Structure 1
Amino acid sequence: MLEKRHWFLLLIWRTLIQVVPTLLGILLIMFIILHLIPGDAVDVMAGESGGASEASMTLMREQYGLNLPAWQQFTHWFANIVQGNLGFSPRFNAPVTQLIFSRLPATLGLMLAAQIVAMAFGIFFGVVMALFVGKWPDRFLSLFTLLLYSLPGFWIGLMLLVLFSVQLGWLPSSGNVTIGAQLSVWGTIKDSVSHAILPVFSLASFFIAIYSRLTRAAMLEIAHQDFVRTAKAKGISPWRVTVHHVLRCALIPVVTVAGMHIATLLSGAAVVETVFSWPGLGRLALDAVMARDVNVLLGILFFSSLLVLAANFVVDLIHTWLDPRIKVR
C-alpha cells in the first residue's frame, strides 16, 4: 500500500515538473503569434459599429490595457492567471472565465462521447480483423476503416447532415438541445442524444480508423509471442487467451495513441462544432479569432493545454493498470 502511494505521489510530482514549463512555453508562443496578427479587438469593434474617433479608440485601448507593450500585457495576464483570473473580454463584454465555463461542458461532453465511441468501435473492429485475418470480415473492415481515415471529419459530418437531417429528417441539424422545448427528464436525455449522434460520429470517425488498425496490428504481433503459446498449452480457453492475454497487452499502444490524440480530438471538435453549430469552445474560439479577442483565445488555450496534460496523466495511470511492470523513474 505504501509502495503504491509513493508511486502515485512520484507520478504527480513528475507530472507537475513537466506541466509548468510546458504550459508556460505554450502560452508564450501563442501570445506572440496572436500579437503578430494585424489589428486588435478595438479595431474590430470600431469596424462593426461603422467607425469611431481616434480619441475614443485610444480610450478603449487604455481601458482594456491594449495600449501597453506586449511584454507587459503578457506579464499582467500571467499574473492574473496565478490569481485565478483570465481577464475580461472586450468583444463579449464578460469575464473570460465565465465565457469558457459556459461553453466547456458542451465541448467536454462532445469529446468524451467521441472518444468512447472511437475506442469502443475501434477496438471491436480491430479484434474482429485480428481474429479473421485474411478473411472477408478483415478485408471489409479494413476497407471501411481506410475510408474513415481518408475522408475529412467535416466532410463526413456534412454528408451525414444532408442524409439524416435534410433528406430523411430523422435527426436535428444543429445545436445540442431543442431551444424552448418543455420536456421531461427522459425527453431531455433523448433530445440531447439525438442532437449529439451526428457530431459525435463525425468527430469519432477518424479515430475509429486509427484505433482499429492499431489494435489489429498489436494483436497479431502479440498472438505469436511465447507467453501466449504457453497459455494455450496450459489448456486455457481461446476466449480467455484473447481477452486477458492478447487484447490486454494490445491495449497499451492504443491507450498511448489515444492520449497523444487528445489535442487532435480537441482541434477536430472545433471544426465539428462549426459544422453542427454546437455551442462549445470551438465556436467561441472562432468568434474570438474574428474579433481579435486575445484574452478569450489565451483562456481557451490555457484550458485546452490543461485538458491535454490531464489526459496524459490519466493515460499514465491506465498504463500501470494494463501493465504492472511499468514504473515511474
Structure 2
Amino acid sequence: MRFFRQLLSRVLQALALVLAVVVLNFILVHAAPGDPVETIAGVSGGMSPELMAQLRLQYGLDKPLYVQLAVYMGKVLSGDLGYSYFFNLPVASLIGERVPATLLLVLGAVLSAFVMGTTLGVLSARKPNGVLSQFITVLSMVGFAAPVFWMGIMLVILFASVFPILPVAGMRSIDSSGGGIADVLDVLHHLVLPTFTLGLVYLAQYSRLSRAAMLDVLGADFIRTARAKGLADRVVLYKHALRNALLPVVTVLGLQFGNVMAGAILVETVFNWPGLGRLAFESVLRRDYPTILGVLLFASIVVVVMNQVTDMVYRLIDPRINAQ
C-alpha cells in the first residue's frame, strides 16, 4: 500500500510539473517577437490585410493571451495539440513522424556515451597516475570543451571532403530500398556521425565523473576488506566498487536527458537529421507556435519520465534505497 501511495504521489507531481511547463512555454513562446501571420505572408510572397485578419481569426490570434492560453490548455488536456500553421497538419502527427528518428539518435548517443565514458573512467581509476589515465583525462577535457555544433561542422568537413567514407546528411541514402537488413545498415551508417557528435560531450563528463567516483569508492573500508579476503582484483573492481560508483553517474544521466534533447536540435540541424530537433528549428524560424509548443511538451514529458526512471534504477543499483 505504501508503494502505491508513493507511486500515485509521484504521478500527480509529474502531471502538475508538466502542466506548469506547458503554461510557462506558452507564455514565453508568445512573448517572443514576431507574428506567425506575417511570417506566412512573407513566405507566400505577400498577403492582403483582409486575408491576414482572417488568418488571425482562424488561428485564434485575435483573442487576448489569457483566452488563447485557456483554449490551448483545454485542447492539451483533451489530447489535441492543434494544427501546424506552416505544415497545415496535426501537430501530434508531425511529432509522431519525427519521434523515432530523435529517439534513435538520443538513445544511441546517451547509451554509447554512458557505456564508453564509464569504461574509460574505470580504466583511468585503476592506475590514476598512469599513461592511460593521463591520456583519457586529456581526451575527456577536449571532448568537454568542444561545442556540439563546432564538432559537428568539423566532422562534416572531415568526412565530406578529406575522408568521404561516412554520410554527413540525412537518415537514409537516396537509393535506399526502404526495408530489410540493407536499410537497417544504411540507417546505422548515417547514424555514426550524429551519435558521435552528440555523445562526445557527455562521454567526457561520464568518464570524469566515473573516475572520481571510482577513486572515492576504491578508498573505502569495504573495498579494503574485500581485498583482505583475497578476492580477485577484477571482482573487487567490477562487482563491489563499480556498483557503488555508478550512483552519481546515473544521477547525471537522468538529469541531463533534457540537455541531450536540446543538443539534438543542433546536431539534427547540422546533419539534416529528420527528427524533432530539426522540426523545432524549422518551426522557430517560421513562428509555428503550435508545433513549437508540441515539441516542448513532448520534451518535457520525456524529461519527467526519465527522472522517474532514474529513481527506479537507483533502487536496482543500491538496495539500501528500498529500505528507506
TM-score, length-scaled by structure 1? 0.95
Q: Which moved more, 1:10-19 or 1:62-71?
A: 10-19
Query: What is residue 147 of structure 2 aligned with on the other side?
Result: 152
Q: Counterparts of 2:202 and 2:57 in 1: how far apart (Å)?
A: 46
Distance apart, 1:189 and its partner CA: 1.5
Cα distance per residue 1:75-108 (max 9 Å; x no partner): 1111111111101112110000011111111111
What value does the CA root-mean-square deviation take over the aligned residues? 1.5
Does 2:192 align with 1:206? no
Query: What is residue 280 of structure 2 aligned with on the other side?
Result: 285
Distance apart, 1:184 and its partner CA: 5.8
Distance apart, 1:156 and its partner CA: 1.3
Q: Which runs of 4+ in 1 moved over 3 A?
A: none
Q: 2:310 aligns with which of 292, 315, 323?
A: 315
Q: Counterparts of 1:202 and 1:225 in 2: how far apart (Å)?
A: 36
Query: What is residue 40 of structure 1 aligned with on the other side?
Result: 35
Query: What is residue 252 of structure 1 aligned with on the other side?
Result: 247
Asked if the contact 1:10–1:328 (Cα under 8 Å) also holds between the matched residues in 2, the reply is no
- Consecutive unaligned residues of structure 2, counting only runs of 5 or more, are none
How much identity, in percent, do the aligned residues show? 39
Equivalent position SS for 1:50 = coil
Q: Counterparts of 2:273 and 2:78 in 1: how far apart (Å)?
A: 31
Q: Counterparts of 1:11 and 1:112 in 2: how far apart (Å)?
A: 28
Asked if the contact 2:176–2:186 (Cα under 8 Å) also holds between the matched residues in 1, the reply is no
Does 2:130 align with 1:132? no
- Counterpart of 2:256, as a letter, is H
Query: What is residue 302 of structure 1 aligned with on the other side?
Result: 297
- Counterpart of 1:149, as a letter, is F
Query: What is residue 271 of structure 2 aligned with on the other side?
Result: 276
Asked if the contact 1:89–1:95 (Cα under 8 Å) also holds between the matched residues in 2, the reply is yes
Distance apart, 1:328 and its partner CA: 8.3
1:166-205 matches, cutoff 5 A = 166-182=161-177, 185-205=180-200
Distance apart, 1:12 and its partner CA: 2.6
Q: Counterparts of 2:89 and 2:53 in 1: how far apart (Å)?
A: 21
Q: Counterparts of 2:2 and 2:234 in 1: how far apart (Å)?
A: 36
Equivalent position SS for 1:94 = coil
Distance apart, 1:183 and its partner CA: 6.2
Cα distance per residue 1:5-46 (max 9 Å; x no partner): 853x34432322321222122222221111112332211111
Q: Counterparts of 1:159 and 1:57 in 2: how far apart (Å)?
A: 43
TM-score, length-scaled by structure 2? 0.96
CA distance change for structure 1 residues 217 and 73 in 2, over 3 Å: closer, same or farther?
same
Cα distance per residue 1:109-157 (max 9 Å; x no partner): 1000001110111001000100011110000110011000011112111
CA distance change for structure 1 residues 12 and 178 in 2, over 3 Å: closer, same or farther?
farther
Q: How many residues align?
A: 324
Q: Counterparts of 1:215 and 1:238 in 2: how far apart (Å)?
A: 18
1:56-71 matches, cutoff 5 A = 56-71=51-66
Q: 1:231 aligns with which of 226, 229, 253?
A: 226
Query: What is residue 86 of structure 2 aligned with on the other side?
Result: 91
Does 2:238 align with 1:243? yes
Q: Counterparts of 2:192 and 2:10 in 1: how far apart (Å)?
A: 35
Does 2:215 align with 1:220? yes
- Consecutive unaligned residues of structure 1, counting only runs of 5 or more, are none
